[in-house]
Structure 1
């Protein structure tokens, strides 16, 4: 496609407000230019426009320009639905983003930090299940959260326990080319993994292509700020991004974060280094209903430069 043709199509996509009648009335048959980056919506984000069926939602995502999906709850779906989602993604030439390796530590509690054999065995057993889920839905990345602090142990001991468990998990994932991405969170000060430098250090210590950093920009804005600076500092260990504006954890343009500049920086840096990322849309819609879904699309069109 010629550059001017691509620009023309992108302008059509950016003018999505002129097509609001079709989109709002759930007529997902209007072709939209693909976004520059692989933004990954989740199921439910366009339910008012596409209906409740996840496959219809997936097709709607594709037709309005998204080329990836993430689903934190994939492991809780039936094997038949996992396979159906994977097959649909393949037909649409879309990328499957993360799902969560949920080893019974949510709501978050002390787990890998403790060094407990019970927790480690539970985690590793779930990693083995995750391999089979990934095969069915064509996934490569899986989110892992080590859990809360073990307050009666020194931080160095807790860190060593986490590193050892993650190395054992890499033994499971590496033969399949799968990658667990560690997510530093801001939900509570009890969390062990909270900052980008800490996550970077742990990934370096694990020293495996199957252990990388999930840079969730909403959490990192809340915990430390300096988003572009910290992306640059931890770039070599970042395997995946997630999006959310602050305050509110909604779509770009609704808060204080300049996602236009952040996306531009990630895009240019990825091209320069020959890398490709999925950016998970792990956020809510600032407005409910079809109008909110249209606003979300417009926000990504405005920010995707």
Structure 2
């Protein structure tokens, strides 16, 4: 049967918006995770580059993504990533604002060098455009390194003052800076902020909604342990969470942390934010990627 010209035009008018809607709707081959676990580039490396990995993560049911290196990416790539995440119904997690100079053990925000503080704040200010392009609500900040010549209490006061100035820079934008305590026993000797409790003290001193704590449970397990009590005491200042098992910094179930219980506790707290998957895979290739997804299915079912 031959369709009339009018019928063909009518069919096209219906098909065009339908095709556009289908192209924009989130596609998924699996049930969506109930919490906002966020993989990163490298989590699914066998699937291709950055955008192929985002698509694969979405198809596995992940609803968030994080990218420490986002600020270093070309603007066009940042914009494309934001669009892809929006199209797939995914939330952007953290990126790093103002990467520390690890080899120089800088900045020393509690030291006597004002240039260190000014450079640090300039990096945070530059991150505002990145956050806007990515639709990111949180940015990771590392509060630098210890200065062994200066009393700890003096350094703390100076870190608090610096983070208040940082809050002044970002607050109008809605961006929240989440300070990450790092362990000194395995990965980052010499850093200033080493525990969630220390982060709490600084955040309370700053007393601004735009400065909170990033509770990376891999680092906290190494430095202090006692994860649930530590988060309970400091919960009002925790703005973002990251997972990683210990030893090895791989997916849940590869080490000693009972992440199923952590998930139960977070549900009890009605946590609805992003949970960064700040770790590698315990096995290489697709077998490791499958193990990663299975590990998060197991804890998500807790």
1:111 Cα deviation after fit: 2.0
Q: Which runs of 5+ in 2 are unaligned?
A: 1-26
Q: Which runs of 5+ in 1 are unaligned?
A: 1-28
Confirm or deny that 1:41 pairs with 2:44. no
> Which of residues 156, 163, 171 is equivalent to 1:166?
163
Q: Which residue of 1 aligns with 2:151?
A: 154
1:103 Cα deviation after fit: 4.4
Separation in 1 of the partners of 2:99 and 2:215? 21
Separation in 2 of the partners of 1:103 and 1:286? 26
> Which of residues 122, 143, 150 is equivalent to 1:125?
122
Deviations 1:125-168 (A, max 9, x none): 11111000001111111111111111100111101111111111
1:239 Cα deviation after fit: 0.3
RMSD over aligned Cα atoms: 1.3
> Which of residues 268, 283, 286 is equivalent to 2:282?
286
Separation in 1 of the partners of 2:188 and 2:70? 24
Q: Which residue of 1 aligns with 2:240?
A: 240
Kindly report which structure 2 residues correspond to 1:69-80, keeping only aligned pairs within 5 A, or say none: 69-80=65-76
CA contact (8 A) 2:178 2:214 kept: yes
Q: Which residue of 1 aligns with 2:82?
A: 86
Structure index of larger Rg: 2
CA contact (8 A) 2:251 2:282 kept: yes
Separation in 2 of the partners of 1:115 and 1:213? 25
CA contact (8 A) 1:110 1:150 kept: no
Deviations 1:10-45 (A, max 9, x none): xxxxxxxxxxxxxxxxxxx86111111100000111
CA contact (8 A) 1:70 1:96 kept: yes
Kindly report which structure 2 residues correspond to 1:1-305, keeping only aligned pairs within 5 A, or say none: 31-48=29-46, 50-52=47-49, 54-107=50-103, 108-186=105-183, 187-269=187-269, 271=270, 275-304=271-300, 305=302
SS in 2 for 1:114: coil
Deviations 1:55-90 (A, max 9, x none): 121111111010001111111100110011111111
CA contact (8 A) 1:197 1:234 kept: yes
Runs ≥4 residues deviating over 4 A: none
Name the count of aligned residue pairs.
271
